[in-house]
Structure 1
């Protein structure tokens, strides 16, 4: 068991969040392992030069994120990874700071593929004509703008447009829980996207795919919409993972998921 105490006092702004982030990193990195006893509020207060109230708030934050098990009358312990709430900011930040985002991104992309294909099928069957017209309009606009593009890519706009397009499909599913899940997963994945590594021809390929999906949805062709969304996700997810993960991590993804790597782009030297 090892915990990275820091002798210097934590700054006074949002003390419990700062301490919780530091302890969360110890947990996700394995310095504190499953079942290890978590220091009580009094020890946290002493080590980080904060009040006992802040110490209790730290434990509450870690518990809310699923990182520790708090049981009345018993010592708190580190929770198993399966109980962590991976979409919580505290967990995300800890994983990112510990440079473990690659493996989590692969898990999130696997889930994204499942839920977005399901959302696409539901959208084709359930969305209103107005919702489908809106999806086609979004795809057509992105397609036309990409055709007219001849200068540097506007990364922020590209990300916003992609979120809007896929979000509209999730909304069209008519399932509020699924739509929220899609939005949350995509929000967490934005920092890992390889869109900043796409050249203009690849951006045009993405928008061609969006338009093909939109047209299949407008025809309410469930099978075609599903097929085109699966093809698009295999390309975009595969391309991102190839550019974000090590060869060892890619082998693990391939063993579990087996995406069609032939459709993806190999990373370019930067």
Structure 2
């Protein structure tokens, strides 16, 4: 029996079933086990299993056919902008071209955000970035804490750009960026904050070109982290 430790049982069940599907245990077109069997496997009620199936349906992962069962849909039908789906594919080594898509989206949006931030940041913005960078240096060996603060550093840059639509677009991918970073972050990098220091320095002196260059270098390192994580294989899920 699979032991569930989180209180949000439908979400936890859906996450574990999604991982099983991403791993290929249930290929496209295959029916998931009956509600009774899954309830026994996870040690929960049939209501929880039913709610978990609805969550997976909302992500495009399964199709619920009344009276027949719950069937896995083809990969292209999945909502691949959903953070949980992306992480399942990443852990299963099936992120494929989506990894490059993530990098390209970040370069298209964040590089320009950095340039705008350098042009428009005020002293309060710069002080907030400095505080976050100091905290990043303190937590460099603590993956969850580091990624949380590093993500906040990037959000502060988006805000300093003072472009409402650009910030909206970046925020729509925010959770995906953070969760993928948490999975691939490797604190064995020689100096994981070197590009962040360059970003802050460029923004402080209002050098837009240098800020864009530093952001592009930071995102390229993110691309390397994804590549190396895929080469290493699956990462265990972090709490």
Give the TM-score, by structure 1 length. 0.62
Paired residues of 2:130 and 2:200 also in contact (CA < 8 A): yes
Is 1:174 aligned with 2:159? Answer: no
For the aligned residue pairs, the C-alpha RMSD in angstroms reads: 4.1
Alignment correspondent of 2:194: 205
2:229 to 227, 234, 244: 244
Superposed CA deviations along residues 214-242 of structure 1, whole A, max 9, x for unmatched, are 147x35x4x554344223322x2244246
The correspondence of residues 128-167 of structure 1 with structure 2, limited to 5 A, is: 129=120, 131-140=121-130, 155=142, 158-167=146-155
Specify the structure having the higher radius of gyration (Cα): 1
Q: Partner of 1:70: helix, strand, or coil? A: strand
Alignment correspondent of 2:237: none
2:62 to 56, 68, 76: 68
Question: Which stretch of structure 1 is more off in the superposition, 178-187 or 40-49?
Answer: 40-49
Decide whether aligned partners of structure 1 residues 159 and 57 sit closer, same or farther in structure 2, where only a CA change above 3 A counts: closer
How many aligned positions are there? 225
Is 1:232 aligned with 2:218? Answer: yes
Q: Which runs of 5+ in 2 are unaligned?
A: 234-239
Decide whether aligned partners of structure 1 residues 37 and 16 sit closer, same or farther in structure 2, where only a CA change above 3 A counts: same
Alignment correspondent of 2:21: 27
Paired residues of 2:10 and 2:49 also in contact (CA < 8 A): yes
The correspondence of residues 5-44 of structure 1 with structure 2, limited to 5 A, is: 8=1, 14-41=8-35, 44=38
Post-superposition shift, 1:170? 1.8
Post-superposition shift, 1:33? 1.6
Paired residues of 1:9 and 1:49 also in contact (CA < 8 A): yes
Taking the aligned partners of 2:70 and 2:127, their CA distance within structure 1 comes to: 53
Q: Which has the higher contact order (CA 8 A, sep 6+)?
A: 2
Taking the aligned partners of 1:58 and 1:153, their CA distance within structure 2 comes to: 36
Q: Which runs of 5+ in 1 are unaligned?
A: 1-7, 249-270
